[in-house]
Structure 1
Amino acid sequence: MVNIKDVAKKAGVSVTTVSRVLNNRGYIGKETRKKVEKAMADIDYSPNQIARALQKSQSYLLGVIVPDSEHPFFAELIKNIEIFAYKNNYKILICNSLDEAEKETKYIGMLKENRVDGIIMCSQTLDIEEYRKVKLPIVSFDRIMSNNIPYVGSDNFNGGTIATQHLIESGCKYLLHLSGPLDIDVLPNRRADAFKLTCMKHDIPFKVIEQEYSRKSFSFYKNYEKFIEEQVAHELAKYDGVFCSNDMLAYALYIHARKNNIHVPEQLKIVGYDYTSFTRMLQNPKLTTIKQPADRLGRELCSTLVKMIEDKEGDKPNNTIIDVELIKGETT
């Protein structure tokens, strides 16, 4: 069986250089990398991942816990985490908590049993103290957990400000915000804070209606449709602008308005949040929304965790906030 020494001999480089190429560590010139990769192909060399893992006491596995990978935003986020992980020779294990604390607890235990090197935590059902007990490198998405657990998120407060300001500048006089539950201490709730402050700054009457998470239906759209029919519809005539906490909710609101002869954007203006592939595919209408870039968020989540794993003696990675931007569509 060929080994790393054979590759080095074939490529005319040192074993250390081959090791750097395999582990994507340190500076390697393009020509040198090509020589090593060609040598591996020529002699049919495949690195023994199990042996490498045992040698470095690593599994090269990352756990990713999300509320639900069916949701367009988390589907796109997972894809981008996986892309960066692959480039750095890691694989990912995906777990869906479905917003259930018991399930999330069991998944954390399962990931530890499978000796993952670290966890990207996008689900947020447990008390913060429970995450501190995990004893593995953790990076949080959109939640501040502790000084030892870095977080990555979009600029939710600025996103809420931009969305609300845009509605006001579009002529809206009475504003509504449809949010997730605000009793959970997570960064996306800063969108509601920004909405309220911007409305008060401009003396705009406003209201916030919270949606409680429910798993009775496994269709996000049906959940949003039910929320609008039961909690929003009777209030809608009072408002001429709505800022929705995500694009699927914004689209469900648009469909409800169309069914009830409420003209968008003439009578009701709508702004969403996310700008995922779901939103980009919509042509009728093209939603006005706030873009939080899932590609950059996924890359930062994965790169922060990899840094924690591979630089155990180094400083804790910084928290990262990613800029957002308004995407003007046909609903404002």
Structure 2
Amino acid sequence: MVGMRDVAKAAGVSLSTVSLVVNNTGYVSADMRAKVESAMRQLNYIPNELARNLYRNRTNTIGVIIPTIAHPFFSTLTAHLQREFAARDLKTLLCSTADADKGEGEYVDMLQRHMMDGIIMAAHTEHPADYWTSIHRPIVAFDRTLGEGVPVVRSDHEQGGRLIARQLIDSGARHVVLVGGPRSQFAAATTFPTIRYHLTVERLLADAGIACDYVEAGAVADIAAHEATACAIFERYPDVDAIVGSDVVASVALQEASRRGIEVPADLQVIAYDGTLMAETAGKRLTAIRQDFPAIAAALAARMDSQIAADGGPASPAKNDSASDVDTQPTPEEVIPVTLIPGETTR
């Protein structure tokens, strides 16, 4: 097996020079670099990635924790995240908490043992804030607040709520049903930013004198429960004339309305929240609040870059083993605008 000593001998340079070129650390003249790279090609030398990572104290791997890959929102998000990280020469390690026995705990343990460089946390967690802030490794939260100092990227759900309410008010809706997760989440409004669109819709519809009911559909990973809830709305609320929910809920509601002979949008309006491909393949093109997946992924990747640098990555000086400076700062939050995409399911 060809090693760095063989490359050094073939190039006529020192072993340390080859190491600097291979690990891309320190200054090497253009002439020396060319000699080393030429020798590497001639000898078909492939650097040992594990050894390089140990040398740099990096794995070039980012863990992405989501509830389930089966949900169209999270499959879309992870696809965009993987593209962003690949553009940065980073690998993505995916954890679906609904499909893993140990859930997030195993991945946090890997992070603490330096088996990955950082975690994007996009799933519900039972751990308190001090659990996340005590880890002192690169973590970026998506659409949830994990504790002071953990950066957050989220969509502008208040804006989404305003856009939905305006559409329903202007189109003459009389009885709106919102479908979402457990109402118990609403007790901690800052923990789950996604609930803000529900709260905004409820408030604005109440101000306009429009009836609005909220139906719990279970955890986001329980897709079957969301589908069943969408179908049950028609029995529970026979006078419903507008349904708002995730792309999954909206798609099933549209299909159930068709089965019952209910005209959409004349008799029933349906608005999806997420705007994945599913919103365009439900039979009719759903009116949808589209979350900006490319912008979300870019913001998460940029925040992760900053966290890794602050953790002693190549872009910044190494820190000591105590809490990093970012842990003591107010939680920075980046809010990504959403867009109402008119479809064929609203008036």
TM-score bracket relative to the smaller structure: 0.7 to 0.9
What is the total number of aligned residue pairs between the two structures?
Answer: 308
Aligned to 2:320: none
Q: Which runs of 5+ in 1 are unaligned?
A: 24-34
Aligned to 2:196: 190
**One-letter code aligned to 2:181:** G
Match of 1:325 among 336, 339, 343: 339
1:199 matched to 2:205? The reply is yes
- 1:90 and 1:303 map into 2 onto residues whose CA distance is 12
The Cα offsets for residues 172-221 of structure 1, whole Å up to 9 and x where unpaired, read as 12222112123223010001111111112222221111212286x7xx2x
Relative to the length of structure 1, the TM-score reads: 0.81
Output the aligned Cα RMSD: 3.3
Quickly say closer, same or farther: Cα 1:111–1:95, change in 2 above 3 A. farther
- 2:53 and 2:46 map into 1 onto residues whose CA distance is 14
Q: What is the 5 A alignment of 1:273-292?
A: 273-280=273-280, 282=281, 284-292=283-291
Aligned to 1:293: 292
The Cα offsets for residues 1-57 of structure 1, whole Å up to 9 and x where unpaired, read as 587999x99xxxx9999789x69xxxxxxxxxxx99x97996556554323312221
The Cα offsets for residues 229-261 of structure 1, whole Å up to 9 and x where unpaired, read as 44x2223322212221x1111011111111112
Q: Which runs of 5+ in 2 are unaligned?
A: 26-33, 186-190, 317-324
- 2:265 and 2:295 map into 1 onto residues whose CA distance is 31
Quickly say closer, same or farther: Cα 1:15–1:239, change in 2 above 3 A. same
The Cα offsets for residues 141-177 of structure 1, whole Å up to 9 and x where unpaired, read as 1011222101111101111110121121122122221
Give SS of 2:266's match.
coil
Aligned to 2:133: 132
Quickly say closer, same or farther: Cα 1:318–1:214, change in 2 above 3 A. closer
Give SS of 1:145's match.
coil
Give SS of 1:135's match.
coil
The Cα offsets for residues 55-74 of structure 1, whole Å up to 9 and x where unpaired, read as 22111111111100121111
Greater Cα shift, 93-102 or 72-81: 93-102
Aligned to 2:31: none
Match of 2:228 among 226, 229, 235: 226
- 1:203 and 1:5 map into 2 onto residues whose CA distance is 79
- Tell me if the contact between 2:59 and 2:116 (Cα under 8 Å) persists in the aligned partners: yes
- 1:65 and 1:40 map into 2 onto residues whose CA distance is 42
- 2:249 and 2:255 map into 1 onto residues whose CA distance is 10
Identity %: 26
Query: How much has 1:113 moved relative to structure 2?
Result: 4.4
**One-letter code aligned to 2:229:** F
Q: What is the 5 A alignment of 1:1-332?
A: 1=2, 46-98=46-98, 103-113=103-113, 115-126=115-126, 127-184=128-185, 185-213=191-219, 220=223, 222-230=224-232, 232-244=233-245, 246-280=246-280, 282=281, 284-312=283-311, 316=326, 318-332=332-346
- Tell me if the contact between 1:159 and 1:191 (Cα under 8 Å) persists in the aligned partners: yes
- 2:172 and 2:60 map into 1 onto residues whose CA distance is 53
Greater C-alpha Rg: 2
- 1:138 and 1:125 map into 2 onto residues whose CA distance is 14
Quickly say closer, same or farther: Cα 1:41–1:72, change in 2 above 3 A. farther
